[in-house]
Amino acid sequence: MFSEKLQKAFNDQINAELYSEYLYLAMKSFFEEKHLKGIANWFNVQVQEEHAHALGLYDYVHERGGHVELAAIAKPALEGDSTLAVFEQVLKHEELVTSKINALVDVAEGEKDRAAVSFLDWYVKEQVEEESNVRQLLGTLKLIGDDRHALLMLDRELAARTYVAPVIG
Ligand code: OFO
């Protein structure tokens, strides 16, 4: 039995993942317009990953016989105007998503829904990886500072990132 309370929490998380997709799409556009195609590609992979995260939850709600209720996705807002500022916002955002995933696990535990807790374990681990990747990039960007040549080298490196569909659950 998939409780109403847990179903609502899953639906809220679907919206949070779709917002992440939308936010990263806005960030991709920021870098496209700055002609940093490699960084834009990095965000394009993020967009696809967030879409997969949302669909993983969406499919799970159906698998449990629940109801998916889609809500409006908020307008994404970029908080800074530099590469470093954008990645600082990404880290802050991923930390927020981690806290949302943890809160969702708390609801599943409160409802004693072991299957849902077990399913969400994938998302808990994924957040560790998401935060770690962004911290690594932030460290590199801090080393780069105002060195435009080094930034172009990073841009070339990030152009090679490819999307690999995750196996969720
Ligand atoms: Fe869905 O992991 Fe980022 O937000």
The predicted-structure confidence for 108-141, as pLDDT tens digits, reads as follows 999 999 999 999 999 999 999 999 999 999 999 9
**CA gap 124, 135 in Å, rounded:** 17
The Å distance, Cα 58 to ligand 1 centre, comes to 15
pLDDT value at residue 91: 98
pTM: 0.97
pLDDT value at residue 1: 82
pLDDT for 10-46, tens place per residue? 999 999 999 999 999 999 999 999 999 999 999 999 9
User: Residue 168 pLDDT more than 90?
Assistant: yes
Which of the listed residues 43, 91, 100, 127 should we mutate to test ligand 1's pocket, taking the one with most ligand atoms within 8 A of CB?
127
Burial class (CB in 10 A: 0-12, 13-18, 19+), 79: exposed
Which of the listed residues 50, 92, 134 should we mutate to test ligand 1's pocket, taking the one with most ligand atoms within 8 A of CB?
50
pLDDT for 58-108, tens place per residue? 999 999 999 999 999 999 999 999 999 999 999 999 999 999 999 999 999
According to the 3-state scheme, what is the secondary structure of the chain? CCCHHHHHHHHHHHHHHHHHHHHHHHHHHHHHHCCCHHHHHHHHHHHHHHHHHHHHHHHHHHHCCCCCCCCCCCCCCCCCCCHHHHHHHHHHHHHHHHHHHHHHHHHHHHCCCHHHHHHHHHHHHHHHHHHHHHHHHHHHHHHHCCCHHHHHHHHHHHCCCCCCCCCCC
Residue closest via CA to ligand 1's atom 3 equals 94
pLDDT value at residue 169: 84
The Å distance, Cα 136 to ligand 1 centre, comes to 16
pLDDT value at residue 146: 96
Residue closest via CA to ligand 1's atom 1 equals 50
The Å distance, Cα 130 to ligand 1 centre, comes to 7
